[in-house]
Amino acid sequence: MKKVVTVKRRVLADNEAHADVLRGRFAASGTLVVNLISSPGSGKTSLLEATVKALAGELRCAVIEGDVATENDADRIRALGVPAHQILTGGSCHLDARQVSRGLAEGGFPEVDILFIENVGNLICPTTYDLGEDFKVVVLSVTEGDDKPVKYPAIFSRAEVAVISKSDLLPYVPFNLDTVRGQIASLNPEGAVLVVSSIGGDGMAGWIELLRERLEAKRRASR
């Protein structure tokens, strides 16, 4: 097992070096980069569809999609007229910074204001891989149960923003919002919690406003 730990440490150090290069590049272009992480089926792609629709005509967006298989998610974004590039990881349970660099080159994106990176559906593996992002967003759907922050503490500690998704299903599932808010507050006292329905639209305005503010803050800081 010691060998496994050593190799893992080397892989993470290598990833960090690539992430730093990406970070420099995103700083130079003034691009806000958001790394979205969740279980499979929590609604990351639906949130992105609603987001790029809401920002259409105001901010230039692009999306990098990470999946084990299929081009489905990138197709859904492209159908809205927004550039998207699909990274297929094969068996790997997370994206790494090298894949994002390659994806940007292959995607041939124009310069954008916000780059969304939708990570592979997984609450564990993507946590420790820096992709040069400004911040991580963890998405948790109300159908997954209100015990998830304490069961997956690493990602809920590290994500600056938690989006509680599919709030339209709250009447039909056992999910106590206060319980989840309390768990996140103790894991990550500075973290923002937003409750959103991508389909119904509830809470979307707050999410969009947060993105506008973070982009503005990044550009102010670089002036």
* Binding interface with a copy of itself (CB under 8 A): 3-4, 7, 11, 39-42, 67-70, 72, 91, 93, 120-125, 128, 141, 143-145, 147-148, 150-154, 166, 168-169, 172-173
Q: Give the shortest CB-162-to-a copy of itself separation in angstroms.
A: 14
Q: Which CB atom, from 122 or from 188, has the smaller least distance to a copy of itself?
A: 122
Q: Give the shortest CB-125-to-a copy of itself separation in angstroms.
A: 6
**Exposure class string for 56-77: b at 16+ Cβ within 10 A, else e:** eeebbbbbbbbbeeeeebbebb
Q: Give the shortest CB-133-to-a copy of itself separation in angstroms.
A: 20
Q: Which CB atom, from 5 or from 28, has the smaller least distance to a copy of itself?
A: 5
Q: Which CB atom, from 60 or from 166, has the smaller least distance to a copy of itself?
A: 166
How far is 85 from 104, CA to CA, in rounded Å? 8
Q: Give the shortest CB-216-to-a copy of itself separation in angstroms.
A: 34
Q: Give the shortest CB-26-to-a copy of itself separation in angstroms.
A: 25
Closest CA to 65 of 137, 110, 116: 116
How far is 84 from 151, CA to CA, in rounded Å? 32
How far is 190 from 58, CA to CA, in rounded Å? 29
Q: Which CB atom, from 1 or from 28, has the smaller least distance to a copy of itself?
A: 1
* 133, two tokens: 């992002």
DSSP class of residue 56 equals T
